[in-house]
Structure formats: C-alpha cells, structure tokens
Amino acid sequence: MFPVRRSYTIRLADGSLTLGDRCLVMGILNVTPDSFAEPSPTLDPGIAIARALRMQEDGADIIDVGGESTRPGTDPVGTREELARVLPVVRGLAKRLRVPLSVDTYRADVARAVIGEGVTMINDISGLQHEPALADVVAASGVALVLMHMRGRSKTMYAEAVYHDVVAEVTAELEASLAVAAAHGVDAGRVIVDPGLGFAKRPDDSYGVLAGLPPLAARLNRPILVGPSRKSFMRDALGGRPAPERDWGTAAAVTAAVLAGAHIVRVHAVGEMVQVVRVAEEIRRHGESAEGEAQRAEG
C-alpha cells in the first residue's frame, strides 16, 4: 500500500543515527533577523538555546541551527557574521542536547568551526555546489552530511526553475552532488539527501517532487530528508496565508512525506509536527500490516 522505507545507519562523529524504523523530526532553529517563517526571529543566543531545548522536550530527534536566511531573493551575510550568529548557540547546546546537533551552512570555514564545537551533522542547501571544499571538511571530521538540491543562489534560483521532468532531473542532480562528495572522500554511509522543496522550484515542481519521492528514493538509495515547513509553494493552496500561518498545510505535506517513505522531516513547529508524524506512522504501519495479510491470503 505504501512504498518501502529502507533502513540505514548514518555514522556520526560520535556515534550513529538509525533511520528507517520511523520518520525522525528535525527542528529548525533560525538565528537570523530575517527568517521568512518565524513570527519572532532572534539573534539572542540565550533565547535560541532555550528554544532548542524546548524542541528537544517536544520530541525533536535532531536540532538544525541556521545563521543565514536562504529564502528567495536574499543576499549572503558572510562567513564572519554567520559564525557570530551560530557559534554562541552551538557552544551553549553541544553539551546540553541529548540529540544530534546540525548546522545549516554551505561554507567550509563555518563547518570546520562548528564541528570543532561538537556539531555532528552539516546541512548544505547547495549540495556542494557553492563550496565543494565543504566535502573535505566533512570527510576529515567524520560528521554526517545532508545534500540538498537547488540551482543557483538564493537571489537567482527561480530563474533556473525550468524542468521537463522534475523528479528525474532533481534525482540526477542529487546524484551529481553525491559524486562530488564521494570524490572528496565522504563516506556514502554518512550522507542524507534532500530534494529541496521550494528551492529553485515553482509550486508545481515542489508538489511534483513531494509526490515523486518513492522513485527518487529508490534510485538514490540514500536516506531522504524533506523540508516543507511553512514554504511558499503552499501559499496559493492556503488562500495566500503568510508563512507563520502555514502549519496546517505543513502538516499535510509532512503526512504525505511520511507515507511516501521519508526518513526525516525538517519543521518549525516541532511539538505539533511530532504528533502529525506519529499518526502518519500508524497509518503506514497499518497499511503494511494490511498488505502483508493480503499477500498471505493470496499465497
């Protein structure tokens, strides 16, 4: 009834992460003044640390800290500013979290600095396009790596959102990112892929990728992370609601991702989406049970 979700063990610098038994929830912790999705963005490390600890208590399996907004049309902030935003938060969380700590960055220097403070996963929105040297840092440190699909930069990505077969092209371009990682010595057992909903994709493209997760996952044979949270591809379907009011739409996209076999969903409203994931997982489990009973009856 539902596609098979393969199991993986992702090696971290200080242990491992089991993926496949259930969909994990990654909590988004933005440390920027201009996040598209936050009703009250903050640069205050103390507030950010408290939010992360609350996400953990609400059921987050991973915390992902980001110091640069990558919404469409934004300009980069620079390495020094990004580090000034994320390092105090990482230092405050590294020894207090019970779950893996990730940093959302495409910069090799930022990755090197935060890994030195205890970060065990790097989430690269560019899929190693912006700074391939990031792969060298990952390979040397043994942390996990998320490779997301996008084209171009935040300022120009929509101009490159032209597809003939969005699922096939996103899959092929993620394969290219995986090849870059491998060429730099990154062990495939440390890599997760993200099809990049909303990044260099029009709404129809994002919906198409979400609906096409099963063949994408089967071809790539890597764990799949899906990040639909509050993104603009849902705006028209939700009557033009602004980003902070898109959690109901996010819940629908998260459910679709879980049923399609996603291993991780990346969300803002952790407590609410943990509930969504748990119910979606029960639907998957009952679907698998029903399919097994039907196969036994046919046999």
Cβ-based neighbours of 219, under 8 Å, separated by 6 or more: 171, 175
- The residues carrying an active-site annotation are 231, 266
